[in-house]
């Protein structure tokens, strides 16, 4: 599928929702919380807008109250946003001067996303888009940490996807590192202090 690199690790979250205005607001907030939980270096305003438009299109073109699913996937330097519904009718990009607001969501996709498209599924269709992530130093550290946690989760026998309880695995990994430090005759508190100094120095320089 476009935009996918099979060799790269990814973080994935699946959020079922009901196509209703109140649910869209909750879905947008849940998506932002998930991105913050991952530490994804993504423009939050853009992500919120894309999630809102994709979910709102389900209300407009499939029907209010219909069931749908939002999927967020952080893979490499891109965030993929997918909305699945039970309609097999694919959206059509119309001219920008069409009556009322027809096609407004798709025009936003073309202006904000690096790539977008639609695909038929076993029960309907999915509309997806991808946006680029910032490549700052702190963001690269977050990506490396996410990859390390996925590998660590695998050694502990946890399911790789969807990622759940990532914070708990992070705590366990830090605890293991403290044990490793103590086994080498070093002070775990000094180890934590040095890590904190690195973090604060890079955060202030960002």
Q: pLDDT value at position 6?
A: 41
So what CATH class is 10-132?
alpha beta
Q: pLDDT value at position 110?
A: 73
CA distance 110 to 202: 34
CA distance 68 to 206: 38
List CB contacts of 67: < 8 A, sequence separation 6 or more.
16, 17, 18, 19, 85, 86
Q: What is the DSSP letter of 133?
A: P
Name the phi and psi angles at 44, rounded to 5. Answer: -60, -40
Mean pLDDT per 10-residue interval, the chain, length 206 residues:
48 95 93 89 84 91 94 91 93 54 60 86 94 61 70 64 61 88 87 79 59
Give the number of residues written for the chain.
Answer: 206
Q: pLDDT value at position 113?
A: 82
Where, residue-wise, is CATH 3.30.565.10 in the chain? Answer: 10-132
Q: What is the pLDDT of residues 59-87, one digit of tens each?
A: 988 999 999 999 999 988 889 999 999 99
């Amino acid at each position: 599928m476009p935009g996918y690199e099979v060799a790269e690790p990814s973080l994935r979250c699946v959020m079922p929702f009901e196509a209703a205005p109140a649910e869209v607001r909750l879905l947008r907030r849940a998506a932002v919380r998930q991105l913050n939980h991952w530490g994804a270096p993504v423009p939050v305003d853009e992500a919120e807008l894309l999630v809102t438009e994709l979910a709102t299109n389900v209300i407009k073109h499939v029907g209010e109250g219909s069931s749908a699913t939002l999927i967020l996937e952080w893979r490499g330097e891109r965030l993929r946003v997918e909305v699945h519904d039970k309609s097999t009718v694919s959206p059509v990009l119309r001219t920008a001067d069409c009556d009322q607001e027809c096609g407004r969501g798709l025009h936003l996709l073309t202006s904000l996303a690096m790539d977008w498209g639609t695909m038929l599924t076993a029960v309907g269709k999915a509309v997806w888009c991808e946006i680029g992530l910032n490549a700052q130093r702190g963001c690269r550290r977050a990506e490396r940490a996410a990859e390390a946690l996925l590998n660590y989760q695998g050694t502990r026998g946890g399911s790789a996807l969807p990622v759940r309880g990532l914070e708990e695995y992070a705590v366990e990994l830090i605890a293991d590192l403290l044990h490793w430090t103590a086994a080498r005759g070093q002070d775990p508190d000094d180890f934590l202090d040095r890590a904190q100094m690195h973090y604060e120095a890079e955060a202030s320089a960002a």
